[in-house]
């Protein structure tokens, strides 16, 4: 049997009529950049989250950088980010001229460990960017508490958490502002690059919208030096169709995760820990096991695609090695990186594929 890691074609097949119709409408109206399809999606996504503003942009990395700019963060400032995340979270900080300050993760949720934040706050610290990694919310209450004590901005990186809940509140509404990526493989994905910024703050929303569109308030009224980072009509139209399915697809992921959990129950692997006050949307289903690389290779021979998110904590990638951070500063991230393995996860996955994956893994562990 072949079990792909993700299957975007299966998803397209399930909504083909609606997508093709939506594409046709955009083509017929030539609303390629901005326009009514972008405005409609921005409104729909803001309504889905319950935020006042949603501003579409080119991708989830730009979303972080633009929001940091909008909050006035740049040269000379420090921004706290988790050591284990996709590089965008830190890269966007560098690209504003500010410096990312890495914090180790909690071993169960893989999200930033809030108890370690206070120790890294300096006079230059301006913001914290928690990442709701793998689809589960970070410990927002503790993060908000430290942020409040030190007067810091909090921007949620929701690139992996569309629809995830924290104490019954949806991620993206738990801080000053939040960013989303709609990279095709995310829980809500476009058919190309796309992203968004959300906030209830009128001033930040206005500034972010200007920055993303050449600093313009109205056409040719350049109020500041901005950039070009816009959502296009085709992507917005795809996202409007898919947003209607997001909750259903997330539910399917939760059901698949429960089946994985029960089939892996007796194996010596660490299953994802779901904190009771959170709703995990399983962007990724990540286990931990020994001999990870060897087992991933054996699974590949069985036709099962797996992945590692991520092989190295960011401070130890070549991009950040100039910081000369000693390994002992990030023991939890380092230990996790040698053991984590992401198993196939997508809404269209089925019982047979999950059962086959778990029985192959059991066979490799027991020989």
Ligand X SMILES: *Cc1c(COP(=O)(O)O)cnc(C)c1O
Chain residues that interact with ligand X, rule: CB under 6 A: 59-61, 85-86, 88-89, 131, 157, 159-160, 181, 183, 193, 195
Q: Of 133, 139, 193, 102, which is closest to residue 342 (Cα–Cα)?
A: 133
In Å, how far from its chain's centre is CA 217? 29
**165-166 and 278-279 as β-strands: parallel, antiparallel, unpaired?**
antiparallel
Nearer to ligand X among residue 117 and residue 269 (C-beta): 117
Longest dimension (CA), the chain: 69
Q: Given the complex with ligand X, which of 133 and 269 has the nearer CB atom?
A: 133
Minimum Å distance from CB 39 to ligand X?
Answer: 21
Q: CB nearest ligand X: which residue?
A: 60
Find the shortest distance in angstroms from Cβ 48 to ligand X.
18
Q: Given the complex with ligand X, which of 91 and 348 has the nearer CB atom? A: 91
Partners of residue 157 on adjacent β-strands: 131, 179
In the bound complex, what is the minimum distance in angstroms from residue 44's beta carbon to ligand X? Answer: 19
Give CA–CA dist 312/334, Å, rounded: 7
- Residue 42 or residue 157: which is nearer to ligand X going by CB? 157
* Residue with Cβ nearer ligand X (86 or 282): 86
Nearest approach in angstroms of CB 348 to ligand X is 20
- Inter-residue long-range contacts of 244-250, CB under 8 Å, 24+ positions, other chains counted: 245/15, 246/48, 246/162, 246/163, 246/187, 246/188, 247/163, 248/347, 249/11, 249/187, 249/347, 250/162, 250/163, 250/164, 250/187, 250/281, 250/282, 250/347
Closer CB to ligand X, 128 or 131, in the complex: 131
To ligand X, the closest distance from the beta carbon of 180 in angstroms equals 8
Nearer to ligand X, 131 or 289 (CB): 131
Q: Nearest approach, Cβ of 50 to ligand X (angstroms)?
A: 22
Angstrom distance (rounded) from CA 81 to CA 88: 10
Evaluate whether 108 touches 81 at the Cβ level (below 8 Å).
no
Rounded Cα distance between 204 and 200, Å, is 8
169-185 as b/e, with b when 16 or more CB fall inside 10 Å? ebbbbbbbbbbbbbbbe
Q: How far is the CB of 85 from ligand X (least distance, A)?
A: 5
Which of 229, 274 has the CB closer to ligand X? Answer: 229
Query: How far is it, in rounded angstroms, from Cα 257 to Cα 243?
Result: 21
Smallest distance, Å, CB 92 to ligand X? 8
CA atoms within 13 A on the CB side of 324: 0
């Amino acid at each position: 049997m072949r079990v792909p890691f993700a299957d975007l074609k299966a998803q397209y097949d399930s909504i083909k009529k609606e997508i093709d119709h939506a594409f046709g409408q955009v083509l017929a109206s030539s609303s390629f950049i901005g326009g009514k399809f972008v405005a409609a999606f921005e409104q729909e996504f803001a309504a889905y989250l319950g935020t006042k503003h949603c501003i579409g942009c080119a991708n989830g990395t730009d979303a972080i950088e633009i929001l940091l700019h909008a909050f006035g963060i740049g040269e000379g400032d420090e921004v706290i980010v988790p050591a284990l995340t996709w590089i965008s979270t830190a890269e966007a900080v560098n690209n504003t001229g500010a410096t990312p300050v890495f914090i180790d993760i909690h071993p169960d949720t893989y999200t930033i460990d809030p108890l370690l934040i206070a120790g890294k706050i300096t006079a230059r610290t301006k913001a914290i960017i928690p990442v709701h990694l793998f689809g589960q919310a970070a410990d927002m209450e503790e993060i908000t508490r430290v942020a409040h004590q030190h007067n810091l901005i909090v921007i949620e990186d929701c690139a992996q958490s569309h629809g995830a809940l924290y104490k019954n509140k949806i991620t993206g509404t738990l801080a000053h502002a939040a960013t989303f990526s709609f990279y095709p493989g995310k829980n809500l994905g476009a058919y190309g690059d796309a992203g968004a910024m959300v906030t209830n703050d009128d001033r930040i929303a206005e500034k972010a919208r200007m920055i993303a569109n050449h600093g313009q308030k109205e056409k040719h009224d350049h109020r500041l030096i901005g950039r070009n980072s816009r959502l296009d009509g085709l992507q917005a139209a795809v996202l409007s169709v898919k947003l209607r399915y997001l909750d259903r697809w997330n539910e399917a992921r939760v059901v698949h995760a429960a089946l994985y959990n029960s089939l892996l129950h007796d194996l010596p692997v660490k299953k994802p820990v779901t904190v009771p006050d959170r709703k995990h949307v399983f962007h990724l289903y990540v286990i931990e096991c020994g001999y990870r690389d060897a087992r991933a290779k054996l699974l590949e021979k069985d036709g099962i695609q797996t992945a590692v998110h991520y092989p190295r904590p960011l401070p130890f990638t070549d991009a950040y090695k100039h910081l000369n951070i000693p390994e002992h500063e990030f023991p939890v991230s380092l230990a996790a990186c040698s053991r984590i393995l992401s198993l196939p996860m997508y809404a269209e996955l089925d019982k047979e594929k999950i059962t086959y994956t778990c029985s192959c893994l059991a066979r490799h562990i027991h020989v």
